[in-house]
Copies of this chain bind each other. A is one copy, B any other.
């Protein structure tokens, strides 16, 4: 790949009349060399537009200036650019932006436990793992190689971990259930995904608790995230068969959109016959008929916090932390809209 950037440390050394060792030391503020020489070397280096080759430097194991991002739910999904799911894209984009502001590159990589892996994968400075699954092998790998990492969403199997940032999903689900109840729903069904991460686990747990508390029988459905709208439709048919609730909370926006569409085709409309909330806002749920009430998880804010935490961890200044950030509840027509039922 004819990259031929030319100028190496040798060129600088020759031009400055010193050894390469001296150049390296001068530029990295190491070793013992006179101030005069150091300055001279620096100016020569600047003149020549010298910049150390990252690969060669990395070979001697220093910092690479790049962090990795693994989006576990997308690994499970099979496609890294799913349509109708903007949460991950926004998170990834925002994380890259924040990283850049900190002088770091960010690289999105696939499942580290499956070949082929991006070759650079194990040379990165640290990792963000989004929504790790139950006993996630990727986490195991990172621990084995002693690589710094941070998760977005709690790792359900490591309750003692304190290197995570998460949206306050328990609170969101409570908010949703209260909202549904307040607007008249008495029998509320809950559609969760199947990935074993805290997002699903916490949601279910809060739902079951809420049902117990209110003395109602829970109706908990599990639909694979990867089934998208089709999965939502399946859930709808199941509900139609077994008897309709008057409120539904779907953890994912695509399930919600599919469910709404299927019900509608059977003459069941929202919010008239049934109130509907999506746990995560997405294009298909916003564009539903009518638009579906949901939570904006604010991926930009989450990304910022996550990258900051990883950066601190890498430089060893890690005040390890567990950060919970609230989501924004957006009431739309599927639960009666802004004001009143």
Contacts and interface: CB of A to CB of B under 8 A. Distances in A.
Contacts of A79: 97, 101
A221 interface: no
Given A107-B66, A107-B105, A59 B56 contact: yes
A278 to B, nearest CB: 17
A79 B94 CA distance: 11
Residue picked from A65, A89, A125, most chain B C-beta under 10 Å: A89
Nearest to A56: B59
A57 B123 CA distance: 12
List the number of copies, as a whole number: 2
A205 B318 CA distance: 52
A314 to B, nearest CB: 8
A243 interface: no
Interface in A77-135: 79-83, 86, 88-94, 96-101, 103-110, 116-123, 125
Given A81-B303, A97-B79, A52 B119 contact: yes
Contacts of A55: 55, 58-59, 120, 123
Given A63-B1, A81-B94, A54 B119 contact: yes
Given A108-B106, A123-B54, A92 B81 contact: no
A74 interface: yes
A51 interface: yes
A105 B108 contact: yes
Q: Which of A2, A3, A62 has the most chain B CB within a 10 Å cutoff?
A: A3
Given A5-B145, A51-B119, A53-B123, 17 more contacts: A1-B62, A1-B125, A2-B146, A52-B119, A53-B122, A54-B120, A55-B55, A55-B123, A81-B93, A81-B94, A83-B300, A89-B94, A89-B97, A90-B93, A91-B93, A93-B93, A105-B118
Interface of A: 1-5, 51-59, 61-66, 74, 79-83, 86, 88-94, 96-101, 103-110, 116-123, 125, 145-148, 300, 303-304
- List 5 A-B pairs, minimum CB-CB distance, nearest first: A89-B93, A81-B97, A54-B119, A80-B97, A96-B108
15 contacts: A1-B61, A1-B148, A3-B122, A3-B145, A3-B146, A3-B147, A4-B145, A51-B122, A59-B59, A65-B118, A66-B107, A80-B98, A89-B92, A96-B108, A103-B118
